[in-house]
Chains A and B, each alone.
Chain A
């Protein structure tokens, strides 16, 4: 018996509420996702399948700065991370301290947690005056 789930699409402001059906595979992962109803466009259907099988999120957080003009540096993942790894990545970055100066776009953490995604600086950070 397939499971069903209601979910909101986030692709556009319409925010369709749709329903999908799926099974759990032997490894516990979601398989056989089918869109049953509610999504009014193909983008919504694609979103629903992706969100069920391999959801991803951007991560934005901060890292501590040594000798910086400000105590914290905002950082962003270069691309989206697997949703289930976002919290672990944030906690990892909470333990990092980097040295000023930093330039916007500079890699702060290469290949975080082996996920294949770099974390980069969101802004310049000069040294403390």
Chain B
């Protein structure tokens, strides 16, 4: 089956939904969202806790609540078509882009497009990614997989639970498992600090008397058919287990909340250049990847902590994909690199392209390398400060956004550096 669209969006989560809406608002007439799940909304549908959308909607919504705001908006736009239960197998660059996808109704489809937007989101790191020693029994799951089982499918993956990783997903699942009647025995964190919000430490662990062991890791998983217990130990500054600190925790379920990485199968297949640290495609401020006409937004570019920023990024990609599709996206003669400086780990976008058709501030999204208080983030062209922002507190887990006026960005002669200045005490 051969199909033809102006814009094809891969993934119907928050980034894809916002991209579709924005593309339609910016003049695209034939937009297709391809979603592999049975409904749109992406991972929001399993995040039933509240706290989403404070920036966008000025109220605290649940994940499904936030998703449904966007799904309803997209449903009301006739220029947008949606294909559910459909898997994209590959994308190819060219004068006309090509998307190969399949579903039970149509089999293999060849879908041509003027522009493609990649919004596939991210994946969880698994046991293999962190190489936990021990046997390989049942009952070891990623926190997100357990979240889907508990919140959408109606299964409880265990009754005596240990959680490795104290990021927000791990904390949220600690509470969720407790509310469903399981006993969560401990949450272990490799780092000397939690990457979760203080609110989640209080409301997801302390409320349920779940101990948080900082600077601890799992040294062995025990059990043949089913996990029976884990051994854990305190770690030193180099994250090596300290002999003599080991202890065991009996459990029938281990949940891993040990990080997220952008979903890159399609991107690598199409030879889209990726960034070493974000693990997502390199993008400019229009969210155009290294391949003209292929855009990317949301967690596929870099893992976010706020869905509001994901939607915002999707809207940017949708707008410029619409321009590209209509032949209104001018080329650029200069690309200015945006580089992380002191105490900054990553910045997105990684380049700012100087284009006549663009005239809006560039919002730079960054993560710091370690927790800090009272800092100033400076965006500099050599010695010249182009923009700055004060933050009372900065954590690696909380993305910082700094707005940079476009004319200032374009005035930079060399690479733009983003760095942290700690307040002089």
Contacts and interface: CB of A to CB of B under 8 A. Distances in A.
Nearest to A126: B39
Nearest to A123: B64
A59 B393 CA distance: 29
B312 interface: no
Interface stretch (A18-26, A28-36, A83-91, A111-119): A83-91
B231 interface: no
Contact of A15 (B63, B65, B198): B198
Interface in A1-43: 8-10, 13-15
A122 B151 contact: no
Interface string A72-93: 1010100000010011001100
B50 A14 contact: no
A71 B181 contact: no
- Provide the main secondary structure of the chain B interface: helix
Nearest to A124: B68
A71 B154 contact: yes
Contact of B49 (A15, A60, A71): A60
Contacts, number: 80
B48 A57 contact: no
A96 interface: no
B202 A91 contact: no
Interface string A91-127: 1001000000000100000000000000000111000
Contacts of B62: 60, 74, 76, 122-123
Nearest to B392: A14
Contacts of A14: 392-393
10 contacts: A8-B201, A9-B198, A13-B392, A60-B50, A71-B152, A71-B154, A72-B154, A104-B68, A123-B65, A124-B68
Closest 9 CB pairs of A and B: A15-B198, A74-B48, A123-B64, A10-B199, A90-B179, A122-B62, A71-B154, A122-B64, A60-B49
A75 B335 CA distance: 48
Interface residues of A, number: 29
A59 B67 CA distance: 19
B207 A57 contact: yes
Given A8-B202, A10-B202, A13-B393, A94 B48 contact: no
A90 B181 CA distance: 9
Contacts of B39: 69
Given A10-B199, A74-B62, A83-B207, A58 B180 contact: no
A72 B68 contact: no
A76 B197 CA distance: 21
A60 B49 CA distance: 5
A67 interface: no
